[in-house]
Structure 1
Amino acid sequence: MGPTGAGKTTFINLASGSQLRVGSGLESETAYIQLSKPFILDKYQIVLIDTPGFDDTTKSEADVLRGIAEYLATMHTRKQYLHGIIYLHRITDNRMGGTALRNFRMFRELCGGDALANCAVVLNMWNEVSDDIRRAREKELRETDVFFKPAIDAGTLMMHHEGGAPSARAILSQIAQNNPRPFLIQREIVDMGKPISETSAGLVLLGDLAAKHLKQLAQLHEMEAELEEAVRQKDEKEQRELEEIQLKTKRERDRLEEEQRRIRDAPAVATEVPLRTVGPLQTIVTKVWRAWRALRERV
Protein backbone atom coordinates (compact mmCIF):
# COMPACT_ATOMS: atom_id res chain seq x y z
CA MET A 1 0.00 0.00 0.00
CA GLY A 2 0.96 3.66 -0.24
CA PRO A 3 0.24 6.85 -2.19
CA THR A 4 0.20 6.95 -5.97
CA GLY A 5 3.77 7.22 -7.22
CA ALA A 6 5.35 5.68 -4.10
CA GLY A 7 6.78 2.82 -6.17
CA LYS A 8 4.47 -0.03 -5.15
CA THR A 9 4.24 -1.68 -8.56
CA THR A 10 7.96 -1.27 -9.28
CA PHE A 11 8.76 -2.88 -5.92
CA ILE A 12 6.51 -5.84 -6.75
CA ASN A 13 8.01 -6.28 -10.22
CA LEU A 14 11.55 -6.21 -8.80
CA ALA A 15 10.82 -8.75 -6.08
CA SER A 16 8.70 -11.16 -8.12
CA GLY A 17 9.93 -10.80 -11.70
CA SER A 18 6.39 -9.81 -12.73
CA GLN A 19 5.62 -7.24 -15.41
CA LEU A 20 2.73 -5.32 -13.92
CA ARG A 21 2.19 -1.96 -15.61
CA VAL A 22 3.95 0.92 -13.88
CA GLY A 23 2.62 4.48 -13.94
CA SER A 24 4.74 7.52 -14.71
CA GLY A 25 4.98 10.31 -12.17
CA LEU A 26 1.76 10.73 -10.22
CA GLU A 27 -0.46 9.07 -12.85
CA SER A 28 -1.65 5.71 -11.54
CA GLU A 29 -1.62 2.50 -13.56
CA THR A 30 -3.02 0.42 -10.70
CA ALA A 31 -6.71 1.04 -11.30
CA TYR A 32 -7.59 -2.31 -9.75
CA ILE A 33 -5.98 -4.81 -7.44
CA GLN A 34 -3.14 -6.63 -9.21
CA LEU A 35 -1.35 -9.80 -8.19
CA SER A 36 2.24 -10.74 -8.86
CA LYS A 37 3.06 -14.14 -10.26
CA PRO A 38 3.84 -16.63 -7.45
CA PHE A 39 7.54 -16.97 -6.61
CA ILE A 40 9.68 -18.80 -4.08
CA LEU A 41 11.61 -16.89 -1.42
CA ASP A 42 13.42 -18.82 1.29
CA LYS A 43 10.95 -21.62 2.10
CA TYR A 44 7.84 -19.65 1.16
CA GLN A 45 5.75 -19.37 -1.99
CA ILE A 46 4.82 -15.70 -2.16
CA VAL A 47 2.19 -13.69 -4.01
CA LEU A 48 2.27 -9.89 -3.70
CA ILE A 49 -0.92 -7.83 -3.92
CA ASP A 50 -0.70 -4.38 -5.52
CA THR A 51 -3.37 -1.87 -4.52
CA PRO A 52 -4.25 1.60 -5.81
CA GLY A 53 -3.60 4.53 -3.48
CA PHE A 54 -6.38 6.57 -1.91
CA ASP A 55 -5.19 9.44 -4.11
CA ASP A 56 -5.60 7.34 -7.27
CA THR A 57 -6.02 9.37 -10.46
CA THR A 58 -8.50 6.95 -12.06
CA LYS A 59 -10.72 5.81 -9.18
CA SER A 60 -12.63 7.48 -6.38
CA GLU A 61 -11.61 6.96 -2.77
CA ALA A 62 -14.88 5.08 -2.19
CA ASP A 63 -14.10 2.69 -5.06
CA VAL A 64 -10.54 2.14 -3.81
CA LEU A 65 -11.78 1.31 -0.30
CA ARG A 66 -14.50 -1.00 -1.59
CA GLY A 67 -12.08 -2.83 -3.91
CA ILE A 68 -9.56 -3.45 -1.13
CA ALA A 69 -12.32 -4.39 1.33
CA GLU A 70 -13.90 -6.92 -1.06
CA TYR A 71 -10.57 -8.53 -1.81
CA LEU A 72 -9.51 -8.83 1.83
CA ALA A 73 -12.97 -10.01 2.90
CA THR A 74 -12.84 -12.77 0.30
CA MET A 75 -9.43 -13.86 1.59
CA HIS A 76 -10.81 -13.98 5.14
CA THR A 77 -13.86 -16.00 4.06
CA ARG A 78 -11.51 -18.53 2.46
CA LYS A 79 -9.28 -18.63 5.56
CA GLN A 80 -6.41 -17.13 3.58
CA TYR A 81 -4.48 -14.72 5.80
CA LEU A 82 -1.83 -12.17 4.98
CA HIS A 83 1.65 -12.47 6.43
CA GLY A 84 1.82 -8.68 6.38
CA ILE A 85 1.27 -5.38 4.62
CA ILE A 86 4.07 -3.15 3.34
CA TYR A 87 3.43 0.59 3.26
CA LEU A 88 5.77 2.42 0.87
CA HIS A 89 6.76 6.04 1.44
CA ARG A 90 9.08 8.12 -0.77
CA ILE A 91 12.07 9.34 1.25
CA THR A 92 12.54 11.88 -1.57
CA ASP A 93 9.49 13.82 -0.32
CA ASN A 94 10.69 16.77 1.73
CA ARG A 95 7.44 16.88 3.68
CA MET A 96 4.57 14.55 4.50
CA GLY A 97 1.57 16.43 3.22
CA GLY A 98 -2.15 15.88 3.54
CA THR A 99 -2.37 13.24 0.80
CA ALA A 100 0.38 11.11 2.34
CA LEU A 101 -1.10 11.50 5.82
CA ARG A 102 -4.54 10.45 4.56
CA ASN A 103 -3.13 7.37 2.81
CA PHE A 104 -1.25 6.31 5.94
CA ARG A 105 -4.27 6.90 8.17
CA MET A 106 -6.36 4.66 5.90
CA PHE A 107 -3.62 2.03 6.03
CA ARG A 108 -3.69 2.07 9.85
CA GLU A 109 -7.47 1.80 9.99
CA LEU A 110 -7.53 -1.09 7.51
CA CYS A 111 -4.95 -2.96 9.59
CA GLY A 112 -6.15 -2.24 13.11
CA GLY A 113 -3.86 -1.84 16.10
CA ASP A 114 -3.28 -5.55 16.74
CA ALA A 115 -2.14 -6.30 13.18
CA LEU A 116 0.32 -3.40 12.90
CA ALA A 117 3.00 -5.73 14.25
CA ASN A 118 2.70 -7.63 10.95
CA CYS A 119 3.37 -4.49 8.91
CA ALA A 120 6.38 -2.55 7.66
CA VAL A 121 6.85 1.04 6.59
CA VAL A 122 9.39 0.94 3.77
CA LEU A 123 11.23 4.14 2.91
CA ASN A 124 11.52 3.86 -0.86
CA MET A 125 13.97 5.58 -3.23
CA TRP A 126 16.54 5.50 -0.42
CA ASN A 127 19.53 6.00 -2.73
CA GLU A 128 18.05 9.06 -4.45
CA VAL A 129 18.88 11.53 -1.65
CA SER A 130 22.05 12.22 0.31
CA ASP A 131 22.70 10.31 3.51
CA ASP A 132 22.33 13.28 5.86
CA ILE A 133 18.98 14.28 4.33
CA ARG A 134 17.50 10.79 4.36
CA ARG A 135 18.64 10.13 7.94
CA ALA A 136 17.10 13.41 9.09
CA ARG A 137 13.83 12.62 7.32
CA GLU A 138 13.79 9.08 8.69
CA LYS A 139 14.25 10.40 12.23
CA GLU A 140 11.39 12.86 11.81
CA LEU A 141 9.07 10.20 10.35
CA ARG A 142 9.97 7.70 13.06
CA GLU A 143 9.63 10.08 16.01
CA THR A 144 6.69 12.33 15.07
CA ASP A 145 3.26 11.42 16.45
CA VAL A 146 1.34 12.55 13.36
CA PHE A 147 3.60 10.52 11.07
CA PHE A 148 4.74 6.91 11.65
CA LYS A 149 5.52 6.89 15.39
CA PRO A 150 2.18 5.41 16.60
CA ALA A 151 2.45 2.52 14.14
CA ILE A 152 6.10 1.88 15.04
CA ASP A 153 5.20 1.93 18.74
CA ALA A 154 2.58 -0.75 17.93
CA GLY A 155 5.23 -2.99 16.36
CA THR A 156 5.44 -1.85 12.74
CA LEU A 157 8.95 -2.14 11.29
CA MET A 158 10.66 0.72 9.46
CA MET A 159 12.94 -0.44 6.65
CA HIS A 160 14.83 1.02 3.66
CA HIS A 161 14.49 -0.02 0.03
CA GLU A 162 17.62 0.74 -1.95
CA GLY A 163 16.11 0.04 -5.35
CA GLY A 164 17.27 -3.42 -6.44
CA ALA A 165 15.73 -6.89 -6.34
CA PRO A 166 18.00 -8.03 -3.45
CA SER A 167 16.79 -5.12 -1.31
CA ALA A 168 13.12 -5.84 -2.09
CA ARG A 169 13.55 -9.55 -1.33
CA ALA A 170 15.35 -8.85 1.95
CA ILE A 171 12.33 -6.83 3.07
CA LEU A 172 9.96 -9.63 2.06
CA SER A 173 12.08 -12.21 3.89
CA GLN A 174 11.46 -10.29 7.09
CA ILE A 175 7.69 -10.02 6.48
CA ALA A 176 7.37 -13.69 5.50
CA GLN A 177 8.45 -14.74 8.99
CA ASN A 178 5.30 -13.22 10.51
CA ASN A 179 2.48 -15.48 11.62
CA PRO A 180 -0.45 -14.86 9.23
CA ARG A 181 -3.37 -13.10 10.87
CA PRO A 182 -6.64 -11.35 9.98
CA PHE A 183 -6.65 -7.57 9.68
CA LEU A 184 -9.30 -5.29 11.17
CA ILE A 185 -11.23 -4.59 7.94
CA GLN A 186 -11.56 -8.36 7.41
CA ARG A 187 -12.93 -8.99 10.89
CA GLU A 188 -15.29 -6.02 10.70
CA ILE A 189 -16.87 -7.07 7.40
CA VAL A 190 -16.86 -10.88 7.64
CA ASP A 191 -17.04 -11.61 11.39
CA MET A 192 -19.03 -8.57 12.57
CA GLY A 193 -21.12 -8.07 9.41
CA LYS A 194 -20.47 -4.33 9.22
CA PRO A 195 -21.14 -2.30 6.07
CA ILE A 196 -18.19 -0.27 4.78
CA SER A 197 -19.64 2.94 6.21
CA GLU A 198 -19.39 1.51 9.75
CA THR A 199 -15.87 0.08 9.51
CA SER A 200 -12.99 2.03 11.03
CA ALA A 201 -11.60 2.81 7.57
CA GLY A 202 -15.01 3.82 6.26
CA LEU A 203 -15.66 6.17 9.18
CA VAL A 204 -12.28 7.85 8.71
CA LEU A 205 -12.87 8.29 4.98
CA LEU A 206 -16.35 9.72 5.59
CA GLY A 207 -14.86 12.16 8.09
CA ASP A 208 -12.19 13.29 5.63
CA LEU A 209 -14.74 13.75 2.84
CA ALA A 210 -17.08 15.68 5.15
CA ALA A 211 -14.25 18.05 6.16
CA LYS A 212 -13.38 18.68 2.51
CA HIS A 213 -17.05 19.24 1.72
CA LEU A 214 -17.39 21.87 4.45
CA LYS A 215 -14.31 23.62 3.10
CA GLN A 216 -15.84 23.75 -0.40
CA LEU A 217 -19.09 25.17 1.01
CA ALA A 218 -17.17 27.89 2.86
CA GLN A 219 -15.25 28.79 -0.29
CA LEU A 220 -18.47 29.01 -2.30
CA HIS A 221 -19.97 31.30 0.34
CA GLU A 222 -16.94 33.62 0.13
CA MET A 223 -17.04 33.59 -3.67
CA GLU A 224 -20.71 34.61 -3.71
CA ALA A 225 -19.80 37.80 -1.86
CA GLU A 226 -16.81 38.45 -4.13
CA LEU A 227 -18.93 37.87 -7.22
CA GLU A 228 -21.61 40.27 -6.03
CA GLU A 229 -18.93 42.91 -5.47
CA ALA A 230 -17.51 42.34 -8.96
CA VAL A 231 -20.98 42.79 -10.45
CA ARG A 232 -21.48 46.04 -8.49
CA GLN A 233 -18.09 47.30 -9.66
CA LYS A 234 -18.91 46.22 -13.25
CA ASP A 235 -15.58 44.39 -13.35
CA GLU A 236 -16.34 41.91 -16.13
CA LYS A 237 -12.87 40.31 -16.12
CA GLU A 238 -13.00 39.64 -12.38
CA GLN A 239 -16.55 38.39 -12.74
CA ARG A 240 -15.58 35.86 -15.46
CA GLU A 241 -12.62 34.59 -13.43
CA LEU A 242 -14.72 34.18 -10.30
CA GLU A 243 -17.46 32.36 -12.22
CA GLU A 244 -14.92 29.88 -13.60
CA ILE A 245 -13.51 29.23 -10.12
CA GLN A 246 -17.03 28.95 -8.73
CA LEU A 247 -17.97 26.34 -11.36
CA LYS A 248 -14.91 24.22 -10.54
CA THR A 249 -15.64 24.49 -6.82
CA LYS A 250 -19.26 23.44 -7.33
CA ARG A 251 -18.13 20.41 -9.31
CA GLU A 252 -15.77 19.43 -6.49
CA ARG A 253 -18.56 19.98 -3.95
CA ASP A 254 -20.86 17.71 -5.97
CA ARG A 255 -18.14 15.06 -6.28
CA LEU A 256 -17.59 15.04 -2.52
CA GLU A 257 -21.33 14.76 -1.87
CA GLU A 258 -21.53 11.81 -4.28
CA GLU A 259 -18.52 10.12 -2.64
CA GLN A 260 -20.12 10.37 0.78
CA ARG A 261 -23.44 9.09 -0.54
CA ARG A 262 -21.79 6.09 -2.21
CA ILE A 263 -20.08 5.07 1.02
CA ARG A 264 -23.17 5.56 3.20
CA ASP A 265 -25.52 3.79 0.75
CA ALA A 266 -23.11 1.09 -0.39
CA PRO A 267 -24.53 -2.43 -0.56
CA ALA A 268 -23.04 -5.17 1.58
CA VAL A 269 -19.46 -5.99 0.68
CA ALA A 270 -19.09 -9.13 -1.43
CA THR A 271 -17.07 -11.72 0.45
CA GLU A 272 -16.58 -14.04 -2.54
CA VAL A 273 -14.84 -12.45 -5.53
CA PRO A 274 -12.38 -14.11 -7.96
CA LEU A 275 -9.01 -13.43 -6.36
CA ARG A 276 -6.92 -13.81 -9.50
CA THR A 277 -8.89 -11.32 -11.59
CA VAL A 278 -6.97 -8.12 -12.30
CA GLY A 279 -7.15 -5.07 -14.54
CA PRO A 280 -10.04 -3.17 -16.16
CA LEU A 281 -11.98 -6.38 -16.95
CA GLN A 282 -12.45 -7.07 -13.24
CA THR A 283 -15.96 -5.61 -12.98
CA ILE A 284 -17.28 -7.51 -16.00
CA VAL A 285 -15.70 -10.81 -15.00
CA THR A 286 -16.91 -10.45 -11.41
CA LYS A 287 -20.52 -9.92 -12.57
CA VAL A 288 -20.37 -12.97 -14.85
CA TRP A 289 -18.80 -15.05 -12.08
CA ARG A 290 -21.48 -14.02 -9.56
CA ALA A 291 -24.28 -14.80 -12.05
CA TRP A 292 -22.82 -18.25 -12.71
CA ARG A 293 -22.47 -18.92 -8.96
CA ALA A 294 -26.09 -17.86 -8.32
CA LEU A 295 -27.31 -20.14 -11.13
CA ARG A 296 -25.27 -23.07 -9.78
CA GLU A 297 -26.75 -22.59 -6.28
CA ARG A 298 -30.32 -22.60 -7.67
CA VAL A 299 -29.62 -25.82 -9.58
Structure 2
Amino acid sequence: MENYVLTFGALSASIHTPNRVFGLSGVGKTKFINTVTGSTLAVSNTIDSVTENSTSTDIPILDIGQARIQLVDMPGFGDTRDDDEVKVFRNIAEWLSVSFREGKKVSGIIYLRSIQEARVLRAETKLMQMVKDLCGDDNLNHVVLVTNRWCLDAEQEEEEREQQIVSDPTRFGTSRLKSVQVRRLKNKYTKEDAQGIVEIFENIPSITLQIQQEMQDAGRSFDKTTAASRIDVDLHVRSNELAKEIERNESRLQSMHAEIVQRQCDGGGGGCVIM
Protein backbone atom coordinates (compact mmCIF):
# COMPACT_ATOMS: atom_id res chain seq x y z
CA MET A 1 0.00 0.00 0.00
CA GLU A 2 1.34 3.41 -0.98
CA ASN A 3 1.66 6.27 1.49
CA TYR A 4 0.50 9.57 0.02
CA VAL A 5 2.44 12.80 0.49
CA LEU A 6 0.65 16.01 -0.52
CA THR A 7 2.60 18.89 -2.04
CA PHE A 8 1.47 22.50 -1.65
CA GLY A 9 2.92 25.84 -2.64
CA ALA A 10 1.67 29.39 -2.96
CA LEU A 11 2.30 31.18 -6.23
CA SER A 12 5.25 33.51 -6.45
CA ALA A 13 4.56 36.91 -7.94
CA SER A 14 7.81 38.83 -7.81
CA ILE A 15 10.78 39.31 -10.11
CA HIS A 16 13.96 38.11 -8.44
CA THR A 17 17.36 39.73 -8.86
CA PRO A 18 19.41 38.39 -11.81
CA ASN A 19 21.88 36.48 -9.62
CA ARG A 20 19.04 34.56 -7.98
CA VAL A 21 16.09 33.64 -10.19
CA PHE A 22 15.17 35.13 -13.54
CA GLY A 23 11.71 36.32 -14.51
CA LEU A 24 8.27 35.51 -13.19
CA SER A 25 7.60 31.98 -11.99
CA GLY A 26 5.73 29.79 -9.53
CA VAL A 27 7.26 28.47 -6.36
CA GLY A 28 8.55 25.32 -8.09
CA LYS A 29 6.15 22.74 -6.65
CA THR A 30 5.63 20.82 -9.89
CA LYS A 31 9.31 21.12 -10.78
CA PHE A 32 10.14 19.51 -7.44
CA ILE A 33 7.85 16.57 -8.24
CA ASN A 34 9.34 16.19 -11.72
CA THR A 35 12.88 16.32 -10.35
CA VAL A 36 12.42 13.68 -7.67
CA THR A 37 10.16 11.28 -9.63
CA GLY A 38 11.23 11.80 -13.25
CA SER A 39 7.66 12.72 -14.20
CA THR A 40 6.91 15.26 -16.93
CA LEU A 41 4.08 17.30 -15.46
CA ALA A 42 3.54 20.65 -17.15
CA VAL A 43 5.49 23.43 -15.47
CA SER A 44 4.34 27.02 -15.83
CA ASN A 45 6.86 29.73 -16.66
CA THR A 46 4.49 32.46 -15.48
CA ILE A 47 2.62 33.21 -12.27
CA ASP A 48 -0.32 31.21 -13.66
CA SER A 49 -0.39 27.79 -12.04
CA VAL A 50 -0.97 24.81 -14.32
CA THR A 51 -2.27 22.58 -11.51
CA GLU A 52 -6.03 23.01 -11.11
CA ASN A 53 -7.01 19.75 -9.40
CA SER A 54 -5.46 17.41 -6.86
CA THR A 55 -3.74 14.67 -8.83
CA SER A 56 -1.29 11.80 -8.58
CA THR A 57 -1.86 10.80 -12.21
CA ASP A 58 1.36 10.44 -14.21
CA ILE A 59 3.46 10.74 -11.03
CA PRO A 60 5.53 7.56 -10.53
CA ILE A 61 5.52 5.89 -7.13
CA LEU A 62 8.83 6.20 -5.28
CA ASP A 63 10.28 3.11 -3.62
CA ILE A 64 12.34 4.39 -0.71
CA GLY A 65 13.59 1.66 1.58
CA GLN A 66 10.56 -0.36 2.61
CA ALA A 67 8.20 2.52 1.87
CA ARG A 68 6.23 3.21 -1.30
CA ILE A 69 5.55 6.92 -1.53
CA GLN A 70 3.10 8.57 -3.91
CA LEU A 71 3.44 12.33 -4.29
CA VAL A 72 0.26 14.28 -5.01
CA ASP A 73 0.30 17.61 -6.85
CA MET A 74 -2.27 19.82 -5.10
CA PRO A 75 -3.87 22.85 -6.79
CA GLY A 76 -2.17 26.19 -6.36
CA PHE A 77 -3.71 28.71 -4.01
CA GLY A 78 -3.91 32.33 -5.06
CA ASP A 79 -4.12 30.71 -8.51
CA THR A 80 -4.70 33.25 -11.29
CA ARG A 81 -6.62 30.59 -13.24
CA ASP A 82 -9.20 30.20 -10.48
CA ASP A 83 -9.96 33.09 -8.15
CA ASP A 84 -12.68 31.20 -6.28
CA GLU A 85 -10.82 30.34 -3.09
CA VAL A 86 -13.73 28.38 -1.62
CA LYS A 87 -13.79 26.20 -4.73
CA VAL A 88 -10.07 25.44 -4.36
CA PHE A 89 -10.51 24.53 -0.69
CA ARG A 90 -13.52 22.35 -1.48
CA ASN A 91 -11.60 20.55 -4.25
CA ILE A 92 -8.82 19.66 -1.82
CA ALA A 93 -11.22 18.60 0.94
CA GLU A 94 -13.27 16.38 -1.36
CA TRP A 95 -10.16 14.70 -2.76
CA LEU A 96 -8.99 13.94 0.77
CA SER A 97 -12.43 12.65 1.76
CA VAL A 98 -12.65 10.30 -1.24
CA SER A 99 -9.07 9.13 -0.70
CA PHE A 100 -9.88 8.32 2.93
CA ARG A 101 -12.89 6.21 1.92
CA GLU A 102 -10.72 4.38 -0.61
CA GLY A 103 -8.22 3.53 2.11
CA LYS A 104 -5.43 5.76 0.80
CA LYS A 105 -3.09 6.69 3.62
CA VAL A 106 -1.52 10.14 3.98
CA SER A 107 1.94 10.31 5.54
CA GLY A 108 2.27 14.06 5.44
CA ILE A 109 2.55 17.30 3.53
CA ILE A 110 5.41 19.04 1.75
CA TYR A 111 4.95 22.81 1.57
CA LEU A 112 7.30 24.66 -0.78
CA ARG A 113 8.01 28.38 -0.93
CA SER A 114 10.83 30.51 -2.27
CA ILE A 115 13.07 32.01 0.40
CA GLN A 116 13.52 34.94 -1.99
CA GLU A 117 9.91 36.01 -1.44
CA ALA A 118 10.36 38.85 1.04
CA ARG A 119 6.71 39.06 2.04
CA VAL A 120 4.08 36.50 2.95
CA LEU A 121 0.99 37.85 1.23
CA ARG A 122 -2.60 37.34 2.39
CA ALA A 123 -3.24 34.44 0.00
CA GLU A 124 -0.21 32.52 1.23
CA THR A 125 -0.99 33.23 4.88
CA LYS A 126 -4.41 31.70 4.27
CA LEU A 127 -2.85 28.68 2.57
CA MET A 128 -0.53 28.10 5.53
CA GLN A 129 -3.47 28.30 7.90
CA MET A 130 -5.44 25.92 5.70
CA VAL A 131 -2.61 23.37 5.75
CA LYS A 132 -2.64 23.57 9.56
CA ASP A 133 -6.42 23.13 9.57
CA LEU A 134 -6.20 20.14 7.22
CA CYS A 135 -3.70 18.39 9.49
CA GLY A 136 -4.75 19.45 12.96
CA ASP A 137 -2.34 20.60 15.67
CA ASP A 138 -1.46 17.05 16.70
CA ASN A 139 -0.19 16.23 13.19
CA LEU A 140 1.92 19.32 12.45
CA ASN A 141 5.12 17.29 12.70
CA HIS A 142 3.97 15.58 9.49
CA VAL A 143 4.30 18.91 7.63
CA VAL A 144 7.67 19.70 6.05
CA LEU A 145 8.26 23.34 5.14
CA VAL A 146 10.76 23.36 2.28
CA THR A 147 12.20 26.74 1.36
CA ASN A 148 13.98 26.69 -1.98
CA ARG A 149 16.20 29.00 -4.05
CA TRP A 150 18.78 29.37 -1.31
CA CYS A 151 22.18 30.66 -2.39
CA LEU A 152 25.39 29.25 -0.94
CA ASP A 153 26.00 32.50 0.93
CA ALA A 154 22.71 32.74 2.79
CA GLU A 155 21.99 36.21 4.13
CA GLN A 156 20.82 36.99 7.65
CA GLU A 157 17.62 38.46 6.23
CA GLU A 158 16.74 35.11 4.65
CA GLU A 159 17.54 33.25 7.87
CA GLU A 160 15.23 35.59 9.80
CA ARG A 161 12.52 35.21 7.15
CA GLU A 162 12.56 31.44 7.54
CA GLN A 163 12.43 31.69 11.34
CA GLN A 164 9.50 34.10 11.23
CA ILE A 165 7.45 31.71 9.10
CA VAL A 166 7.89 28.82 11.53
CA SER A 167 7.35 30.94 14.67
CA ASP A 168 4.49 33.26 13.67
CA PRO A 169 1.16 31.66 14.77
CA THR A 170 -0.62 33.22 11.78
CA ARG A 171 1.69 31.14 9.59
CA PHE A 172 3.24 27.82 10.65
CA GLY A 173 3.93 28.80 14.24
CA THR A 174 2.18 26.92 17.05
CA SER A 175 2.13 26.79 20.83
CA ARG A 176 1.85 23.00 20.75
CA LEU A 177 4.74 20.60 21.30
CA LYS A 178 4.55 19.28 17.74
CA SER A 179 5.69 21.68 15.04
CA VAL A 180 6.49 21.65 11.34
CA GLN A 181 9.80 20.27 10.14
CA VAL A 182 12.05 22.61 8.16
CA ARG A 183 14.31 21.81 5.21
CA ARG A 184 16.15 23.85 2.56
CA LEU A 185 16.88 23.42 -1.12
CA LYS A 186 19.63 25.38 -2.85
CA ASN A 187 18.97 27.38 -5.99
CA LYS A 188 20.00 24.62 -8.39
CA TYR A 189 19.17 21.46 -6.48
CA THR A 190 19.62 17.90 -7.73
CA LYS A 191 17.41 14.82 -7.74
CA GLU A 192 19.34 13.56 -4.72
CA ASP A 193 18.62 16.82 -2.88
CA ALA A 194 14.90 16.51 -3.58
CA GLN A 195 14.88 12.82 -2.70
CA GLY A 196 16.39 13.69 0.66
CA ILE A 197 13.20 15.64 1.41
CA VAL A 198 10.92 12.75 0.45
CA GLU A 199 13.00 10.29 2.48
CA ILE A 200 11.76 12.05 5.61
CA PHE A 201 8.51 10.13 5.14
CA GLU A 202 10.16 6.71 4.81
CA ASN A 203 9.61 5.80 8.46
CA ILE A 204 6.77 8.18 9.30
CA PRO A 205 3.48 6.36 9.96
CA SER A 206 0.40 7.38 8.02
CA ILE A 207 -2.15 9.62 9.73
CA THR A 208 -5.79 10.59 9.53
CA LEU A 209 -5.90 14.30 8.83
CA GLN A 210 -8.16 16.49 10.93
CA ILE A 211 -10.38 17.33 7.96
CA GLN A 212 -10.75 13.62 7.14
CA GLN A 213 -11.87 12.95 10.71
CA GLU A 214 -14.34 15.82 10.53
CA MET A 215 -15.85 14.80 7.19
CA GLN A 216 -15.83 11.03 7.69
CA ASP A 217 -15.86 10.11 11.37
CA ALA A 218 -17.94 13.10 12.50
CA GLY A 219 -20.01 13.14 9.30
CA ARG A 220 -19.64 16.87 8.72
CA SER A 221 -20.06 18.54 5.36
CA PHE A 222 -17.16 20.62 4.09
CA ASP A 223 -18.95 23.81 5.16
CA LYS A 224 -18.88 22.63 8.80
CA THR A 225 -15.16 21.81 8.95
CA THR A 226 -12.51 23.84 10.76
CA ALA A 227 -10.95 24.85 7.44
CA ALA A 228 -14.27 26.11 6.06
CA SER A 229 -14.98 28.07 9.25
CA ARG A 230 -11.70 29.91 8.80
CA ILE A 231 -12.68 30.80 5.23
CA ASP A 232 -15.96 32.30 6.47
CA VAL A 233 -14.14 34.41 9.05
CA ASP A 234 -11.62 35.60 6.48
CA LEU A 235 -14.32 36.53 3.97
CA HIS A 236 -16.17 38.46 6.68
CA VAL A 237 -13.01 40.37 7.60
CA ARG A 238 -12.28 41.15 3.96
CA SER A 239 -15.86 42.33 3.43
CA ASN A 240 -15.57 44.74 6.37
CA GLU A 241 -12.20 45.98 5.11
CA LEU A 242 -13.69 46.63 1.66
CA ALA A 243 -16.66 48.50 3.14
CA LYS A 244 -14.32 50.72 5.18
CA GLU A 245 -12.16 51.37 2.11
CA ILE A 246 -15.22 52.42 0.10
CA GLU A 247 -16.26 54.74 2.93
CA ARG A 248 -12.79 56.32 3.05
CA ASN A 249 -12.77 56.83 -0.72
CA GLU A 250 -16.20 58.48 -0.65
CA SER A 251 -15.00 60.82 2.10
CA ARG A 252 -11.91 61.73 0.05
CA LEU A 253 -14.05 62.45 -3.02
CA GLN A 254 -16.36 64.72 -1.03
CA SER A 255 -13.38 66.63 0.37
CA MET A 256 -11.84 66.99 -3.11
CA HIS A 257 -15.15 68.22 -4.54
CA ALA A 258 -15.56 70.80 -1.77
CA GLU A 259 -11.98 72.01 -2.31
CA ILE A 260 -12.49 72.40 -6.07
CA VAL A 261 -15.71 74.37 -5.59
CA GLN A 262 -14.05 76.60 -3.00
CA ARG A 263 -11.18 77.38 -5.39
CA GLN A 264 -13.66 78.25 -8.13
CA CYS A 265 -15.47 80.59 -5.76
CA ASP A 266 -12.26 82.23 -4.59
CA GLY A 267 -11.13 82.78 -8.16
CA GLY A 268 -14.44 84.15 -9.43
CA GLY A 269 -14.78 86.87 -6.86
CA GLY A 270 -18.54 86.30 -6.54
CA GLY A 271 -20.69 84.65 -3.94
CA CYS A 272 -20.80 80.86 -3.98
CA VAL A 273 -22.79 78.25 -2.22
CA ILE A 274 -20.91 75.02 -1.51
CA MET A 275 -23.26 72.07 -1.46
**If the length of structure 1 is used for normalisation, what is the TM-score?**
0.71
1:81 and 2:85 correspond? no
Determine if the alignment matches structure 1 residue 109 to structure 2 residue 130. no
Q: Where does 1:131-280 land on structure 2 (aligned, <5 Å)?
A: 131-150=155-174, 153-162=177-186, 163-228=189-254
Identity over aligned residues, as a percent?
26
Distance in 1, Cα, partners of 2:118 & 2:250: 37
**Relative to total residues, which structure has the larger strand share, 1 or 2?**
2
Give yes or no for the alignment of 1:9 onto 2:16.
no
8 A Cα contact 2:64 2:199, kept in partner = yes
SS in 2 for 1:187: helix
Cα distance in 2 for residues equivalent to 1:192 and 1:40: 34
| Structure 1 residues 81-106: Cα deviation after superposition (integer angstroms, max 9, x where no partner) | 11111111221122333232211111
Question: Is the 1:86–1:120 Cα contact (8 Å) retained in structure 2?
Answer: yes
SS class of match (1:150): coil
1:59-70 equivalent positions in 2, closer than 5 A? 59=82, 60-70=84-94
Q: Residue 69 of structure 1 aligns to a residue in which SS? A: helix
In 2: Cα distance, 1:30 partner to 1:84 partner: 20
Q: Does 1:41 align with 2:64?
A: yes
2:269 is matched with none
Q: Greater helix share, 1 or 2?
A: 1
Partner Cα separation in structure 2 for residue 97 and residue 63 of structure 1? 20
SS for the counterpart of 1:82 is: strand
1:166 is matched by which residue type in structure 2? E
Q: Contact (CA 8 Å) 1:41, 1:169: kept in 2 or not?
A: no
Q: CA–CA distance in 1 between the matches of 2:255 and 2:166?
A: 49
Structure 1 unaligned residues grouped into runs of 5+: 236-299
CA–CA distance in structure 1, aligned partners of residues 71 and 150 of structure 2: 21
How far apart are the structure 2 equivalents of 1:218 and 1:111?
Answer: 34
Superposition deviation, residue 46 in structure 1: 2.2
CA drift of 1:169 comes to 0.6
Contact 2:129–2:171 (Cα < 8 Å) also in 1: no
Q: How many pairs are equivalent?
A: 235
Deviation by residue 1:82-140 (Cα, 9 ceiling, x = unmatched): 11111112211223332322111111011111221222111122237635443333333
What TM-score does the superposition give when structure 2 sets the normalisation length? 0.77
- Long gaps (5+) in structure 2: 1-7, 12-25, 262-275
Kept in 1: contact 2:173–2:179 (CA 8 A): no
Corresponding residue for residue 81 of structure 2: 58
Residue 224 and residue 94 in structure 1: after superposition, are their counterparts in 2 closer, same or farther (change >3 A)?
closer
Q: Are 2:142 and 1:118 aligned? A: yes
